[in-house]
Structure 1
Amino acid sequence: MRLIDFFDRGVALDPTRTCLKDATVSRSYGDVQRRSYRIANALAAAGFAPGQKAAVYSPNGAVAFECILGIVRGAQVWVPINARNTAGENAYILDNCDVEVLFYHSEFEANVEVFRKDCPKIRSYVCIDRAGADAPFLEDWIAEAPETDPDIPEDRDATISIVSSGGTTGRPKGVVWTHLVWETMIANFFTAMPVGKPPVHLVVAPMTHAAGIVGIILMAAGATQVILPGFDAGKVVTAIETERVTHLFLPPTAIYVLLAHPGLKDHDFSSLDHFIYAAAPMSVDKLKECLDVFGPVMTQSFGQAEAPMLCTFLSPEDHLVIGDPQKEKRLASCGRPTFMTPVAIMDDDGKLMPAGERGEIVVRGNLVMPGYYKNPDATREVSAFGWHHTGDIGFSDEDGFVYIVDRKKDMIISGGFNVYPSEIEQVIWGHPAVQDCAVIGVPDDKWGEAVKAVIELKPGANITADEIIALCKTRLGSVKAPKSVEFWDSLPRSPVGKVRKKDIRETFWKGRERAI
């Protein structure tokens, strides 16, 4: 199936059902479908052929979502760019991915001027909320376009989107997603999370990443997308209650803030079916708190841009193990492989490891990208031995649950011992005074690298470095306990909410020839 066919399936279920809803716009599936026709036809009339690259540069919003659907409808290639990135970061992505048409919100007019200088391949700009400084207003641009389906046939192996890799360790690479990649992801999603009633999905995190991807997937089931411009804990809990939200995605860092919101337990969360968390490991202690507050709805997936969203899955039922010492350890896992995606653990020589042995998590199947855009060398590097190499270190247990120990590049070697920061972070996250933390290796004349914890406390909370170190020694032993602790007002985060360990490490390794 083409990606747009999944949206059209949602239309067929009920064209009158609300599709997109934000603070200013509310449109039915039928209305959104007709607008996607007009955007696709306007692209064709402007000389943009199938396969050419297009992007949407906007905060979360209904019209931005419509532009994405119009791009996909016209068989152009959607290149997501995050509104929270710097202008320079987005200019690099736009140019690297050969984007030729940009739909943008007037909020970013100044940044568009940067693109006009640094992205010469862009030959058309369209402003989605008013007339731009040198760009037509979307409503004028599509005014004469017909409301008829261009119905462009496409091969399932054709590229339909190019998604940027994380970018926390260097320049992002363009990850090619075909219709087949999307089809496999959607099949994994509904196999793991069957839908019994029309969903209501709350879009809070950037719609250019997981929140938008979940939204597109759920459109196949006729989901209403309730769109917030960004994360605000009070608005999130209110929206869940008033809109009767069934599905929500948030990264762990945002969930920690949500848990600290005053009056959280005064709200009704009974409508939730799946509260999806992903993008980074989550504190087991805070996960238990979530289960107490939100009920048996916590849902974890593990994936990355190169094998998106659903390599493994930890279902709400898998979370119901509290009180069973043999099974409770599963809360630290990211679940078991999904229906259409084999997952294994591999050593550096390409040997698959048995249960309990640590190695790199590898995946294969149609969920895996066909490659990086215009980067065959990087593609070959991550595709050794016929598997995609995730860069994550982990192991599987005897029941097939996969545990992420760390990013391969995050491992600390201290005094000849391998130390995995996520083990230490799990302990620190569990302290009630801690909002978030990052554990890194810092230069040390004796140990080579010394374990250091950098901690962001909850507002008004207090704890000493000695208390943190003692806690870790008690739980993990002296080798893994931090040798030092610093408290920062806030940790640096990427535009999608991940703690930028690279930035934290650079604070301590600056000016040195080696970073290990």
Structure 2
Amino acid sequence: MKIDVTSLYNRRRVNRWERTSVGDMLERLRYSFPDKEALVGWEGAYAHPDNARLTYLEADDKANQFANALFKRGLKKGDRVLFFCDNSVEGFLAKIAVAKAGMVAVPMNTMMAPDVITYLINHVEPSLFIADSEHWPKIENVFSKLNIQLDITIPIGGGVIPGSQSFEEFYRGHSKNEPDVEIHGDDIWQMLFTSGTTSMPKCVMVSHTNTYMSAYSFALSITRGISIENELKVCSFLPIMFHVADQIFAYPVFLSGGTFVIGRTLNMPAMADAITKEKVTTLWSGSPAFLTGLTDLILVERDKYDVSSLKVIVYGWAQLSPDYHEKLKELCGRDLVTFEIFGQTESISCYRFWPDKWSETYEKNAPEVNYVGVPNPLLASVIMDENGSVINDPRVQGEAVYRSPAVMSGYYKDEEATRKAFEHGWFHSGDSCMYDEDGLAIMVDRYKDIIKSGGENVSSIRVEAVLRQHPAVEKVAVIALPHEKWGEMVTGVVMLKKGKHIAEAELISFCREKLGGFETPKQIIFTETIPETVGGKILKYRLREQLGALNLKS
């Protein structure tokens, strides 16, 4: 069977009145809630003051104008539009406009290295380029070497780049009518890049239907605690321009008729202020480490911040410690719903674990054991061994594999990688998991992050959860470094809190009280910084590259 990883549109025919199009999300709300605020940009997340707060009618009009301007510029259906932007109302509107035009948004992580940027531009062959002023210096040399020019500037952090137009200049004066273009749910409207931890990033093809399914699967979870779904007000200061989080935190807002509050970048005081003033109901906090820091800030300044409006808090990548779960209940109310999600760019209809639903398991195991619970009802998932056989026995590790209409369409122009990813008829996550005796899933680790020390497999996530509990530790990553005796040595890379000091031996002893001997770090390396994505995921491959050449202890 041939897998199509080349066609971006016309994957089959459809009529206007029946279509599934991301661009229609705003258009549909103009008929029911035209004057309701759709987008609110927090300070720094908009270039023009007129875009700070937009109703559904205003947002849809501007997106239509931008889409029609793309056609006027000479672009056609299926053309790629590259974004080099952090969060902003303008950037988000431009993405919606690209969807309206039947084109493909290609948002790029603003932290990418020049050689990666060059490779990806050549790979996707964009027809138009959009960037923030703030980030232009990072890509100016790349554009010069490739002999391409920036087309549109979102003037945040600087002025309009010479030779380009501002966002406002580009769309102003164009028709507010919906573009006349055939769009089908199978059409690709966005391509997102994987982290590329061992090679160049893969280009994940996201269809309109994929986004709708992802969004609906989360709309059911993030509207808890409010009486009517259009009272939903979601806040994200984490990336929604170039991260898959847009699928499950931005678009569910529009499918519910709510309001999306956009923050520029991770900033605890700004986020606490936004929650307080906008009466946010759902928060995407990213990592538990960030959520605990935010909680501490609010507790210290309770006279300044009021987060009682929060009904749902979502976090990912690790478990929140029970004491902070209790602190959040005290701040937000006993009915607050928190849950961890477990998914990835290629399949973002996630596993979910609710501490309140499985309270006894949570209290007994968190945060050392990363329970991820059960799949979203839209997600079929099993744990599979390397031969393609399903594992049902508890405590037997295997790989989590998925089937869902929220799974990607493929890796663009890479049929071999796509075929491998869908081996045995399931999408392979690369995550090692197992069931407990009650059928709840536990994430053990990313396969590439499992440490093989002295013949035993060690979960870096479990060791990190223990280290993170020490009051002197701010951030931590646990990696494998080569060792003559153990093969791989469990190594903790630790960033201490400001003004805190602790000896290596003391921290190792702290771990030994909670971990088995083979799991306990053999070495602690103290550092001033730990490389991570803007979403808070630690880049362990960079640490392994940086520290792998060290003269390690025997």
Same fold flag (TM > 0.5): yes
Q: Is the 8 A contact 1:284 1:332 kept in 2?
A: no
In the alignment, the residues of structure 2 paired with residue 452 and residue 93 of structure 1 have an alpha-carbon distance, to the nearest angstrom, of 33
What is aligned with 1:67? 94
Cα distance, 1:119 vs structure 2: 4.5
Q: Is the 8 A contact 2:23 2:97 kept in 1?
A: no
Please identify runs of 4+ aligned residues in structure 1 that moved more than 6 A. Answer: 327-331
Cα distance, 1:118 vs structure 2: 4.5
Cα distance, 1:211 vs structure 2: 4.6
Q: Does 1:377 align with 2:410?
A: no
In the alignment, the residues of structure 2 paired with residue 10 and residue 83 of structure 1 have an alpha-carbon distance, to the nearest angstrom, of 31
Q: Does 1:397 align with 2:404?
A: no
- C-alpha deviations, 1:441-490, integer Å up to 9, x for none? 11211111111111112222233222222222222221111111122122
Task: Give the TM-score, by structure 1 length.
Answer: 0.91
In the alignment, the residues of structure 2 paired with residue 324 and residue 104 of structure 1 have an alpha-carbon distance, to the nearest angstrom, of 46
Q: Is the 8 A contact 1:11 1:222 kept in 2?
A: no
User: Which of these residues, 143, 147, 151, is aligned with residue 116 of structure 1?
Assistant: 143
Q: Is the 8 A contact 2:369 2:442 kept in 1?
A: no
What is aligned with 1:227? 262
User: Which of these residues, 283, 294, 298, is aligned with residue 258 of structure 1?
Assistant: 294
Q: Does 1:306 align with 2:342?
A: no
Three-state SS of the structure 1 residue aligned to 2:151 is strand
What is aligned with 1:142? 171
What is aligned with 2:311? 273
What is aligned with 2:112? 85
One-letter code aligned to 1:368 = V
The range that moved more, 443-452 or 224-233, is 224-233
Q: Does 1:335 align with 2:373?
A: yes
The range that moved more, 34-43 or 453-462, is 453-462
In structure 2, the CA distance between the partners of 1:370 and 1:212, relative to structure 1 (3 Å rule), is closer
Cα distance, 1:112 vs structure 2: 4.5
In the alignment, the residues of structure 2 paired with residue 154 and residue 177 of structure 1 have an alpha-carbon distance, to the nearest angstrom, of 14
What is aligned with 1:181? 210
Within a 5 Å distance, the mapping from 1:26-41 to structure 2 comes to 26-41=53-68
Pairs aligned (count)? 508
Within a 5 Å distance, the mapping from 1:444-463 to structure 2 comes to 444-463=483-502
- C-alpha deviations, 1:169-228, integer Å up to 9, x for none? 332110011122112212211233346342222220122224533113312222222222
In the alignment, the residues of structure 1 paired with residue 448 and residue 361 of structure 2 have an alpha-carbon distance, to the nearest angstrom, of 32
What is aligned with 1:499? 538
Three-state SS of the structure 2 residue aligned to 1:3 is coil
Q: Which sections of structure 1, spanning at least 5 residues, go unmatched?
A: none
One-letter code aligned to 2:182 = P
Q: Which sections of structure 2, spanning at least 5 residues, go unmatched?
A: 1-19, 44-48
What is aligned with 1:435? 474
Three-state SS of the structure 2 residue aligned to 1:366 is coil
Q: Is the 8 A contact 1:290 1:298 kept in 2?
A: no
Q: Is the 8 A contact 2:322 2:363 kept in 1?
A: no
Q: Percent identity?
A: 27
Cα distance, 1:135 vs structure 2: 1.0
Three-state SS of the structure 2 residue aligned to 1:217 is helix
What is aligned with 1:4? 23
Cα distance, 1:141 vs structure 2: 2.3
In structure 2, the CA distance between the partners of 1:474 and 1:331, relative to structure 1 (3 Å rule), is closer
What is aligned with 1:202? 235
What is aligned with 1:344? 382
Cα distance, 1:499 vs structure 2: 1.0
Three-state SS of the structure 1 residue aligned to 2:261 is strand
In structure 2, the CA distance between the partners of 1:13 and 1:463, relative to structure 1 (3 Å rule), is farther
In structure 2, the CA distance between the partners of 1:366 and 1:42, relative to structure 1 (3 Å rule), is same
One-letter code aligned to 2:381 = V
Q: Is the 8 A contact 2:205 2:410 kept in 1?
A: yes
